Chain A
């Protein structure tokens, strides 16, 4: 994934800094609570939501379980419709393919539709190194790009910024990239949107190359689908002569009919609308309408490794709606940057460690960035059991074991820093299988309770710094049970 995030501190450290930023917490709280209520209302309008959710889950699961067949079918349909299909095993290969395609047009700038996949592979930086300037055209991506910032939300990458901060960024930075911000720009959202319209219009009108991702690809017909709100997507998808779409291999749907499920669940889960303002569907090229050249780059970049994990592969059902971020108590407080990936929040906590592996400090910490409350699972429109995958990945971090990395089966060593956890689990296993030893140990702990410290020593100190240690009763439960005949003797508990 993107080099931008290499060397990120582990989640607890990054989150610790974020929760002390009062502005950030206020911005996040306001935005996530606004969208939460709206989503609930939009979902309640549809009486068959559960059936749609189940159908979406089944379609995605079926597709993933026969992905090779559908990839080959998609390639044939796109090619028959006039497109060219490329395959990229990793980020570097995808970036190289795109850079070569842009260079072949003779252009040195491109306009981009908001795309998680191109963020993931660090395309903008790779193009910059080749002397090609990529202009982000989604309003939030523009705010992030102008502010030399990183995205912090899947749907609304600038969610950590409030209107005042956005006005300041526009005033200061727009002139560096093109048309300056209008004189006397205020912080009303309508004026800020107008400033973005004026700034980007000249770029759209002269653009020769557009770059996008896609929300869905239909294997049967070769159709690609992009859902959006602002019209920047339509600009990039229809005005340029050349269109290059970089799409993860998991974005396939088998049939045209399958869109009827996701075009109902995605907008309501995402922006909490009955339907997003604009959806573009294109199949290859059309004579005299839109780009005359279309390239599709199919990206693996860790997806097949994820597919090899029978528990973890359900993360590939994700349609990037971001509903799980908006309901997550951890995301609401820590913000997106702490997750050290373009995929923040609960879905990021299971997607990033699978796409990248759990060898780095940040990726090994992500499965722990959750209280396992399960709100993410409740709202997920494709029913990804995020808590289940989190627990599965925690086990992988602590115990190690066999995983697939770059297509090869490797055995992962248990992670450092979990030695105490492993030792405790081993001790528990030993004691629970020896009732005599357990009884002796419990009695010892009960009788020595006056000597117990109020906080744990050594590595346990951080844990007990914010928690009360449980009080140990005077008498172990099993002794009490035996002595009182299960409480039937009326002698009550030992005082």
Chain B
């Protein structure tokens, strides 16, 4: 007998008390929890995202679409970044103003080569306000998972309010499980020493999030 058959047989014998007419999955699981917490306008949801990102030590910037290239150039310059990783489908206008050397996200690059790159700029798939989370799904403007992992500085652009949802349930609705997903809430951290949170272990130690809107944030309301 294969182990597969042995384990499935044990499971079935263990469940001898379970009746055939048990409630179905839909009947058995109550979904009376909230789809989102609190009642906020669109603008307030974006503000909450900014607040929660900052609470977990991400650096948050807000700008209009016209100012985005200058904002990114300023962040790279302040960091002294000489090289920047660029996903295949990133809007190249975003990098118009920087003179950092662009490194393409290529399958052939080794991890050691990526380790020599100063910064990476990506877009995101969705951002979650209640938890201060950005989610990447490997889309053309986000690239392979490793490019946002090995470099020590990640700049992530979130288009607000379109890409912002309030809650975890709403984010899962928007995501495709077939894609490789990375949920990021602040820079790499650990609580392993005396259960105190320290930022900066293996992932990028600096996470900068740019919330870019068509209009200045003060005008964004529901």
Contacts and interface: CB of A to CB of B under 8 A. Distances in A.
Interface of A: 27, 30-32, 34-35, 45-48, 51-52, 54-55, 58-59, 61-62, 65-68, 71-72, 81, 87-89, 93, 137-140, 143, 155-156, 158-159, 162-163, 166, 189-190, 192-194, 196-197, 200-201, 204-206, 218, 221, 223, 229-232, 234-235, 238-239, 249, 254-261, 263-264, 271, 273-283, 286, 288-290, 298, 300, 304-305, 307-308, 310, 313, 404, 407
A89 B18 CA distance: 23
Contacts of A283: 177-180
A193 B200 contact: yes
Interface stretch (B59-67, B107-115, B155-163, B211-219): B107-115
B188 to A, nearest CB: 4
B11 A68 contact: yes
Contact of B201 (A61, A231, A258, A264): A231
B29 A62 contact: yes
22 contacts: A31-B195, A48-B33, A55-B29, A55-B33, A59-B29, A61-B28, A68-B11, A163-B193, A218-B177, A249-B7, A263-B168, A274-B185, A276-B185, A277-B56, A277-B184, A277-B189, A279-B182, A279-B183, A289-B146, A290-B145, A304-B7, A304-B11
Given A229-B191, A280-B182, A282-B180, A288 B144 contact: yes
Nearest to A227: B183
Q: Most chain-A Cβ atoms within 10 A of its Cβ — which of B14, B186, B197?
A: B14
Given A71-B11, A204-B111, A260-B168, A230 B6 contact: no
Closest 3 CB pairs of A and B: A231-B203, A231-B202, A304-B10
Given A260-B172, A289-B138, A27 B194 contact: yes
Interface residues of B, number: 74
Given A89-B3, A239-B146, A277-B189, A205 B15 contact: no
Given A48-B33, A67-B11, A197-B202, A189 B194 contact: yes
B23 to A, nearest CB: 8
Given A30-B194, A51-B32, A259-B172, A280 B112 contact: no
Nearest to B111: A205
A253 to B, nearest CB: 10
A138 B192 contact: yes
Given A34-B194, A189-B193, A189-B198, A234 B29 contact: no
A230 B32 contact: no
B189 A230 contact: yes
Nearest to A85: B4
A190 B194 contact: no
Contacts of A155: 191
B196 A189 contact: yes
A239 B28 CA distance: 40
A280 B12 CA distance: 32
A240 B97 CA distance: 35
Contacts of B188: 229-231, 277-278
B169 interface: yes
B203 A234 contact: yes
Interface in B134-188: 138, 144-146, 149-150, 168-169, 172, 177-188
Contacts of B192: 138-140, 143, 156, 158, 230
A275 B198 contact: no
Contact of B144 (A163, A280, A289, A298): A289
A107 to B, nearest CB: 15
B107 A58 contact: no
Interface in B1-49: 2-4, 6-15, 17-18, 22-23, 25, 28-34, 37
Contacts of A143: 192
